Amino acid sequence: MQPVTTIHSRTIVLATRDIDTDQIIPARYLTSTERQGFGKALFHDLRYDKNGDVIADFPLNKPEAAGCEVLVAGNNFGCGSSREHAPWAMLDYGIRAVISTEIADIFRNNALKNGLIPIVVDTDTHAWLLEHPGVEVDIDVRAAKLTITGDREVHFQIDAFARFCLVEGIDQLGFLQKQLEAIQIFEEKRSWKP
């Protein structure tokens, strides 16, 4: 995995609460057996209408959204299914961080394992970001710090281990494989066997 240390971008705002994984990527696009290519389906049914035409006023479709890597979303982003296709689609599209007041557990886990940074901020900061789409933000993963328009600094929580893996570009499977001896001992010593 490529290390992820800093992100500098303008924001796109999707103010809706409870954006679920079916909205992030509808199930009918999950039949691919690859990891790449899901960006086309990102927010598909919000980006395109029934006839497949672009919905011009959807935030991702606006000209100013081009090149933005940070999404600010309503509370409880990524709820619903465990599909890792959701962060894959976001990354494939070019979104590298998501900011909200709450991010669903499984989505957050999946995001971190793929280098998409989930950032939970306080409600005041969030409300301000929702009201000011397109502002410049800087994310420093190592310092767990979000800087808004160059001057307002907000610290966010990020699991120490996940952060270490992100900034070093280490994948977690490697860490688990180093535990194989302990796993074997655990299997042998258990009082019951599954």
* Residues forming the site for another protein (CB under 8 A): 15-18, 20, 22-23, 26-28, 30-35, 45, 50, 74-76, 79-84, 102, 104-106, 109-110, 113-114, 159-161, 164, 172-173, 175-177, 179-180, 182-183, 186-187, 192, 194
CB of 136 to another protein, least distance (A): 25
Nearer to another protein, 88 or 137 (CB): 88
Min CB(83)–another protein separation in Å: 7
Residue with smaller CB distance to another protein, 66 or 185: 185
50-66 burial by CB neighbour count: b if 16+ within 10 A, else e?
eeeeeeeeebbeeeebe
Number of H helices, E strands in the chain: 8, 7
Strands 70-73 and 97-100, by their bridges, are parallel
Of the pair 44, 138, the CB lying nearest another protein is at 44
Nearer to another protein, 42 or 137 (CB): 42
Residues 133 and 12 sit within 8 Å (Cβ to Cβ)? yes
d(CA 118, CA 110): 10
How far apart are CB 40 and another protein at their closest, in Å?
Answer: 13
Shortest Cβ distance from residue 57 to another protein (Å)? Answer: 13
- Closest contact distance (angstroms) between CB of 126 and another protein is 14
Structure tokens at 75: 């509370």
Strand ranges of the sheet holding 145-148, from the earlier edge strand across to the other edge: 117-120, 97-100, 70-73, 6-14, 136-140, 145-148, 152-155
Cβ pair 87, 108 in contact under 8 A: no
DSSP letter assigned to residue 77: B
Contact 90, 24 (CB under 8 A): yes
Tell me the closest approach of the beta carbon of residue 8 to another protein, in angstroms: 26
Q: Which is nearer to another protein, 3 or 186 (CB)?
A: 186
User: 86: which 2 tokens?
Assistant: 């959701």
Nearer to another protein, 5 or 76 (CB): 76
